Amino acid sequence: MNKFFFLPLLVLFLFSGCVNKKSYKSNTKVPKNVILLISDGTGLSQISAAYYYKNSEVNYSRFEHIGLITTHSSKEYIPDSAASGTAFSTGEKTYNGGIGILEDSTTVENIIEMASKKGVKAGIVATSSITHATPASFYAHVVDRDYEQKIALQLSNSEIDYFAGGGKKFFKNRLDNNNLYEVLKSNGFGIDTLGLTTFDVIKSHKKQGFLLSDDGMPKMIEGRGDFLSKATLLGIDFLHQNNTPFFLMSEGSQIDWAGHDNDTDYLISELIDFDETIGRVLDFAEQDGETLVIVTSDHETGGFTLAGENYTTKDGNIYSSYTTLDPKFSTGGHSATLIPVFAYGPGAELFFGIYDNTDIFHKIIKLTAWNKK
Ligand code: MG
Ligand code: ZN
């Protein structure tokens, strides 16, 4: 998959020119529902890779409102997923590793705690453990993202109505010997640890959780299949029963892990899976007409770039090809590059421009007034 040649590129561009962009048509400017799709560790080069390596329509092309965010934490130029997740969920900056707290460790209310008081149902989906930094930012308050047993306990007693991801070990094999499955059940959760089911199976439950692997979910290249899009759509069905308003955060967690591994095949397969999820969510939002969809990332990982393949001429000089791609990485960590934001639905035009990652929260709140008593 590493090499990409010029001829199929032309074919792909011709194909992508046929993408049918559906403009959002409605008088309402107030979204009833908000879906936030986060692709962890995804900068513009990762997204660009979809245009060269995906063999079907790239769903990023369906957005008309696009912006950029700065992502620094309260202390560092380069953020981690905890600081960035907290920026999205609370509108506040914190240090790398902090979740749902300010820099001085004070707890700060997150969007789900606000919205649930107004009858908004809330869900989270991730391809990591459900206790990992990004999803945890939407329900937990801890001074260190590594406290995943503590985070699991906080999830069990949170306002979350639906979750799907990995992380069984943080609920079952605990230092405090608590069995959090029992805590979850006593809080109204139906819990499934074998596989995703259907809406008919879960619709009578007050809440629903799927814990489907010990820690992170399998990689796409190891056969995860369509878990992310299926879990996201099932979450929409469950939360939106009887037309109830909802907030859903769904994360393609492992684009970041592929970036840390500097593994192009891993990265591109995870990115394509995320793009497929974008497509299914936009299909729903087009039908629904009252749902704001925001797609963004917490930071870039790997310093990924769609460089040309190096070649050596007869006289020993090294050149970079302009006809054959050979993606490269510049770091095993995160980077500080600006991150794209894509928005669709009522209020999407508010996400145009260049702003800070904390403004994602402030813009959602401005549109929904979920913070008002
Ligand atoms: Mg993450
Ligand atoms: Zn990372």
Any idea which residue has 């967690």 for tokens?
Answer: 253
Class of domain 29-156+246-368: alpha beta
Q: Is the pLDDT of residue 19 over 80?
A: no
pLDDT of residue 25: 54
**Residue 15 — pLDDT band, cuts 50, 70, 90?**
very low
Q: How far apart are the CA of 3 and the centre of ligand 1, in A? A: 28
Q: Is the pLDDT of residue 10 over 90?
A: no
Query: What average pLDDT does the segment 220-245 reach?
Result: 98
For residue 357, give both structure tokens.
């990652």
- The C-alpha angle with vertex 245 and arms to 244 and 247, in degrees rounded to 5, equals 130
- 3 state SS of 92: coil
Q: How far apart are the CA of 361 and the centre of ligand 1, in A? A: 17
Query: What average pLDDT does the segment 227-234 reach?
Result: 98
Q: How far apart are the CA of 80 and the centre of ligand 2, in A? A: 6
Q: How far apart are the CA of 38 and the centre of ligand 1, in A? A: 8
N- to C-terminal Cα separation, the chain: 52
Q: How far apart are the CA of 252 and the centre of ligand 2, in A? A: 12
**Alpha carbons within 13 A on the beta-carbon side of 10:** 3
Query: What average pLDDT does the segment 219-224 reach?
Result: 98
Distance of alpha carbon 321 from alpha carbon 142, whole angstroms: 48
Query: What average pLDDT does the segment 252-280 reach?
Result: 98
DSSP alpha helix (H) spans, the chain:
6-16, 44-53, 81-90, 111-116, 133-136, 148-156, 169-172, 180-186, 199-202, 227-239, 254-260, 264-288, 358-368
pLDDT of residue 292: 98
**Residue 23 — pLDDT band, cuts 50, 70, 90?**
low
For residue 66, give both structure tokens.
């696009």
**Residue 163 — pLDDT band, cuts 50, 70, 90?**
very high
Percentage with pLDDT > 70 across the chain: 92
**Residue 22 — pLDDT band, cuts 50, 70, 90?**
low
Single-letter amino acid code for the residue at 141:
H
Ligand with an atom nearest the CA of residue 129 = 1
To 10 degrees, what angle do helices 227-239 and 264-288 make?
30
Distance of alpha carbon 42 from alpha carbon 299, whole angstroms: 6
Q: Which of 134, 135, 89, 157 is nearest to 370 (CA)?
A: 89
Distance of alpha carbon 279 from alpha carbon 58, whole angstroms: 8
CB-CB contact of 302 with 332 (8 Å)? yes
Average pLDDT value over all residues in the chain: 94
Ligand with an atom nearest the CA of residue 297 = 1
Q: How far apart are the CA of 13 and the centre of ligand 2, in A? A: 31
pLDDT of residue 241: 97
Q: How far apart are the CA of 341 and the centre of ligand 2, in A? A: 19
Domain boundaries of the chain, sorted by first residue = 29-156+246-368
Ligand with an atom nearest the CA of residue 257 = 2
Q: Provide the CA 11 distance to its chain's centre, in angstroms.
A: 30
Ligand with an atom nearest the CA of residue 131 = 1
Q: How far apart are the CA of 204 and the centre of ligand 1, in A? A: 30
Ligand with an atom nearest the CA of residue 126 = 1
pLDDT per position as a tens digit, 63-100: 999 999 999 999 999 999 999 999 999 999 999 999 99
pLDDT per position as a tens digit, 164-203: 999 999 999 899 999 999 999 999 999 999 999 999 999 9
Q: Is the pLDDT of residue 13 over 80?
A: no
Q: How far apart are the CA of 299 and the centre of ligand 2, in A? A: 8
Q: How far apart are the CA of 253 and the centre of ligand 1, in A? A: 5
Q: What is the CA radius of gyration of the chain?
A: 20
Q: How far apart are the CA of 17 and the centre of ligand 1, in A? A: 32
Q: Is the pLDDT of residue 250 over 60?
A: yes
Distance of alpha carbon 150 from alpha carbon 262, whole angstroms: 31
pLDDT of residue 18: 45
pLDDT of residue 173: 85
Q: How many CB atoms lie within 10 A of CB 91?
A: 22
Q: How far apart are the CA of 301 and the centre of ligand 1, in A? A: 11
